[in-house]
Structure 1
């Protein structure tokens, strides 16, 4: 039997509270005072000008009835008859399409609506919501509910049109129910090789998407399975489309380019896009889909990238490949989204001129004008891969005769995987607002992807989301702000990201001023903090790109995948100049290229993206590159520590369950930010030999290394690889092997003056076991915990001692005096040998 200490309970019992399932559509009751304020002008009736249950207008009526009842405490009757409007036209909510509204004979719209646009008029107790189509009517209904849910009862006359027609989300779900780069449980769409039986969550997701004006979804992984096109799967996709249709969300899928061929469904001898039998197969398959799903959105294709098949296999162009699908879709009004994420994934970092960042431009620029008009080239926002900071992809400037969409990532693949708070819209805005200066004229990226700059008919946005079965969809309550803001920015990319955030806060957590302020403050500080402690000056996110993409591993960068830093003992950074480097700066239009080519005019935050410099090179700030690295990593980690007390100040103002969930993650982030800080700063100190001017790097006066403690039982020292993942490069573990259940003790006599301290324990939480730990002071229990973060967090876990598994726990407010004995007891479990790194005895206000 496993020993237990009976110490502090790990998880306290909490009252039943919200789980995040409703997201920002909670429609929480307003305080009595606000409800009374609106009572005299509250509408008495809802008229929804459509009685078809699959219509978004019908859905709008249901949403209005439910929302008003929950927000204001009054259930309004719904009528679908046009005649009802004349009976209730003094106090009503009318919702319908423009064509239905015209039939009433009293329209007064003065501004044209485009597809999906809406008109919202609020005047006393009369509310009129008119959509150019059914989706627009539903969007207008959600806008009205959002206003009253935030206590906004002011009269309004709003015409709102989308900036771009394509506002899609991409899900990277696999047919077996797993999700690539998903951090919130298993798929809501697929299970055991088929479409899931219960699609309740799919309908709920469609509701969330519609509320932020998303009109399309691709439900499966871009690394697609040919079985997506079997008769059984198509029948399942019909059920998904049926579940999402009432919310106006059209469904599409990712395709495996080789689906009909010998390595796919084995129905053709080839997958050559110019082969007549292949063309006929895709036409027949597409016709079959539209017979079952008439409002099918179209296809998304990843071809000739990262081992995926494509037209280059047959020496055809990427345009040939895209047009294969475009011709099959064209008679039905369908769209093909063709990803520009094409590059050689077996590159040699020793070749100075090689550069993955050049790939999209090199593959697609000369194909401009060769794509059919229902093809949209889907371009990642930067030239590499969703890094913490990249310049805008130069390809946006070079497709004037081709429809384009920008691909953004809501799921935080390289940005902490939803276990670090990172509010990403400020990052996206740096791209959307970037001026490419094509032809010397204003050419903002947002105007290029909308189609406005080059007078294109199609274009817009694709956001990689990867929701899962976790009740709060993304595995983090605070991460949902990114999905909310994505939809709103896709509709209007000029939106202010802080204002969008605050709308989301009020809808999700309520309008109490301190709640709005705290969540605003920590969210707006989160991306700068994460950039500082992970990878600044344009060096990319210094994560382990060979493994989990989660924790730090600066030494992992130089590999075949092309995300290089070119760091050596004296220098760092990619030389992407035309004069001496890879030529990437020259891919931008001349005005922009001139800025990036010049070391002196390149902004500091992109310096190492475009230039290879000495560690001693001085930035515009006056600091050297290496000192900036040290300072930024310490500043970023310190900022992450402030998120915890800020959130704790909201106790009692946020319901218990969500308060505890967020606090748990912020505490984890605070500890892991220090792991990042120490690993990156320590690595570059070791590599360069240049000391930190503030004498912080490599100096931890409050730490006691685990290997220096008195060890007994099964504990033994082990070297950690990579070395920078552990304090002093060493940890202690109990035994090894899958059946390990031994124990060990590590004790030390404290030499700190009398006072109250926080005691931090650095340890490793490895997948494959749930080790049990206890901390004791002079034999008295302080705290117990388990190595069970995999039960509480969603990031990719590691099976070894590294910077992915490195973490820490803090025991606050411990009274300590010289001579006290601190002991840590570890009980191993399976693959997890109760690994310990250090303990830190921290005076109040000191960040280790």
Structure 2
């Protein structure tokens, strides 16, 4: 029986030369196919799933041999779940980085031993008498040092708790991944913020609000029986950058998340996260006693309501002892809250805080509130919460968005940050790119986070930066921190665009230490995620550093905001909502928030309030946020406002084009799979930047009545074309 058709079989007779040639050709073909399959498998290894925990073999042979000499054995006691996690991570990381399995020992009898532990679980650590050094590092901090132990050279990773050792382990592996010298190590590190949270806007049906990377990570239909490996990998990824809490569901909360049915499922996640030092937080719906408890009210001062929440809280903690607490969005965007019943935010939050306190839980109360009560919604959070300062219990934390509006590409910092000396405060950033191209655009947000954290609030005079406020260095906060809306999904690389990972990484590291620079964090991420090649690092780092300003320029330059479509992808300056914010007319453009307008500038401490009230002193990046500016206003560049605005949109486009050129120069320096992926996404980004910029320039031109500067390329189409196009485009 032959595999070939009859005519072919008559020609390809066994033994003849043609048959031999065919066999050779077939063998070569099969070999090529196998190599192709293997190459595809190799590409799949570089699909972004491993994030910054790739643990690739150290490519510098000289450095590799040095590392192998310095790390010959590991000494640790893995008698707790967290220490077992540390043992597993070290085995995985060191075998990948060093290309060899490392011997385990409890004896320190030679050089080249890595010793990990606490004074309680390691006799070697205890013998070093490190209590003085460890005393200032708290429960989560760690030290990494070279030590002589019984005459033998060792590297020590020590902490006061197993979780501290875990953080030290990830830091040590980071040092190896980024090719740091291990000679004379002296690292002392502890988190500046107590709460370091990843907020997920996941829904019951596994959709994700403002999520652009597939379905929710949490497979509710298979929990609690099936524990997807991604849950553990998510915990590893989070813990590696110091995240210690996860709010698992949307702040626009479904009441089902606190039912017994879902508590069974959430318990499994909490159990997986616990060894990694990660607590679970649940977003609750304030009207749950009505929806689930058959009560006719959710009044926080009603005794039946209090009793209902007390029992519910006790039930949840009986299943999830490491519950961090509740996250609450109340009296905002249609969500129920205490004001429905004539109570204020403090009364609403304190009722829950009283019930959580015996379990060590906290209430994270979002300060993102707005309705139709004020013409200028950026005033609302400050006006509502400042009068309540000092009335919240000490286990309530107000979670304040980085800006006073809504995660815009650029906003001044929220004036609430620095206005609440008696109320625990944390900031809420956004990693998911709601207003910056969703999962399609390359925008590294590290610089945006840094810009906010370095901003001076003047709350206690000059130098009272937002970062210091959040670290409890300005006010005596019992609890403070940082949260970020991250929204990873089931896409293989977690975030759809590979570079959204970089913003996730930067947030976690800054939540641990707000003093780190975005440039340093970009380089760390590149080295761990792509390459330690200097040329590749320099190109990618420069590209990342300009990406955020590019995103601002082609979207909303000079302080413009909310110039978007209803689903927040694209520019629609003609929409009614956009008009409310840019307020363009024949005289000029921008929102007057000075004394002659909404006077939102008064909410900032002096001298900022005076600066923002003065059109000549206001930084130009916030100019149209605070002022309605004449089209002929002279800018620092020498251009009129109209000319500067148009140039900014075009600068954004040109920056993306330069990013494209820079990225193309990386071919051959990084893996082809991700190279081609990002190359394609940059093509989309360039098209979007052109369309969004042209939409705004042509629309604002109808008010300014001025020509586009001669040196700039003219839009390919008229305004009606862009209006029609934008109304038809939807990118989920």
Do the two structures share a fold, i.e. TM-score over 0.5? yes
Matched, 1:516 2:537: yes
Change (3 A) 1:679 1:330: same
State the distance in 2 between where 1:725 and 1:44 align: 69
The question of whether the paired residues in 2 share the 8 Å contact of 1:47 and 1:92 is answered with: yes
**Which of 715, 728, 732 is equivalent to 1:801?**
728
**Which of 216, 231, 245 is equivalent to 1:216?**
245
The question of whether the paired residues in 2 share the 8 Å contact of 1:175 and 1:195 is answered with: no
**Which of 672, 686, 701 is equivalent to 1:656?**
672
Q: CA deviation at 1:254?
A: 0.5
Change (3 A) 1:36 1:191: closer
Matched, 1:342 2:369: yes
**Equivalent residues in 2 for 1:193-212 (5 A)?**
197-212=226-241
State the distance in 2 between where 1:224 and 1:15 align: 41
Matched, 1:131 2:159: yes
Change (3 A) 1:203 1:683: same
Change (3 A) 1:106 1:695: closer
The question of whether the paired residues in 2 share the 8 Å contact of 1:169 and 1:217 is answered with: yes
- For 2:357, what is the secondary structure of its paired residue? helix
Q: 1:762-795: per-residue Cα shift (whole Å, max 9, x none)?
A: xx7xxxxxxxxxxxxxxxxxxxxxxxxxxxxxxx
Q: CA deviation at 1:110?
A: 4.0
Q: 1:734-761: per-residue Cα shift (whole Å, max 9, x none)?
A: xxxxxxxxxxxxxxxxxxxxxxxxxxxx
Change (3 A) 1:563 1:60: farther
State the distance in 2 between where 1:71 and 1:36 align: 8
> Which has a greater percent of strand?
1
Q: CA deviation at 1:554?
A: 1.0
1:789 aligned partner: none
Change (3 A) 1:805 1:120: closer
1:365 aligned partner: 386
The question of whether the paired residues in 2 share the 8 Å contact of 1:467 and 1:474 is answered with: yes
The question of whether the paired residues in 2 share the 8 Å contact of 1:388 and 1:415 is answered with: yes
1:46 aligned partner: 74
1:472 aligned partner: 493
State the distance in 2 between where 1:35 and 1:146 align: 15
**Equivalent residues in 2 for 1:806-817 (5 A)?**
none
> Which has a greater percent of helix?
2
Q: CA deviation at 1:27?
A: 0.3
**Between 61-70 and 194-203, the greater mean CA deviation after superposition:** 194-203
Matched, 1:726 2:721: yes
Change (3 A) 1:125 1:58: farther
Matched, 1:625 2:641: yes
- For 1:260, what is the secondary structure of its paired residue? helix
**Equivalent residues in 2 for 1:320-399 (5 A)?**
320-344=347-371, 346=372, 354-399=375-420
The question of whether the paired residues in 1 share the 8 Å contact of 2:223 and 2:268 is answered with: no
Matched, 1:551 2:566: no
Change (3 A) 1:108 1:440: closer
The question of whether the paired residues in 1 share the 8 Å contact of 2:255 and 2:292 is answered with: yes
1:108 aligned partner: 130
- For 2:728, what is the secondary structure of its paired residue? coil
State the distance in 1 between where 2:237 and 2:692 align: 34
**Which of 176, 180, 192 is equivalent to 1:148?**
176
Structure 2 length as normaliser, TM-score? 0.90
Q: CA deviation at 1:631?
A: 0.6
State the distance in 2 between where 1:193 and 1:285 align: 24
**Between 93-102 and 448-457, the greater mean CA deviation after superposition:** 93-102
- For 2:126, what is the secondary structure of its paired residue? coil
Matched, 1:249 2:270: no
Change (3 A) 1:557 1:97: farther
State the distance in 2 between where 1:449 and 1:281 align: 34
* C-alpha RMSD of the superposition: 2.3
State the distance in 2 between where 1:537 and 1:616 align: 15
- For 1:62, what is the secondary structure of its paired residue? helix
- For 2:74, what is the secondary structure of its paired residue? strand
State the distance in 2 between where 1:357 and 1:32 align: 53
Q: CA deviation at 1:265?
A: 1.1
The question of whether the paired residues in 1 share the 8 Å contact of 2:245 and 2:324 is answered with: yes
Q: 1:169-204: per-residue Cα shift (whole Å, max 9, x none)?
A: 100000110000000000011445977944321211
The question of whether the paired residues in 2 share the 8 Å contact of 1:223 and 1:308 is answered with: yes
The question of whether the paired residues in 2 share the 8 Å contact of 1:97 and 1:130 is answered with: yes
State the distance in 1 between where 2:114 and 2:384 align: 52
Structure 1 length as normaliser, TM-score? 0.78
**Which of 416, 433, 457 is equivalent to 2:478?**
457
The question of whether the paired residues in 2 share the 8 Å contact of 1:253 and 1:299 is answered with: yes
State the distance in 1 between where 2:247 and 2:104 align: 33
Matched, 1:672 2:693: no
Q: 1:623-651: per-residue Cα shift (whole Å, max 9, x none)?
A: 21111111111111011012222111111
2:602 aligned partner: 586
Counting matched residue pairs gives 685
- Uncovered stretches (5+) of structure 2, i.e. residues with no partner: 1-35
Change (3 A) 1:439 1:138: closer
2:114 aligned partner: 93
- Uncovered stretches (5+) of structure 1, i.e. residues with no partner: 1-11, 348-352, 706-722, 731-763, 765-797, 807-848
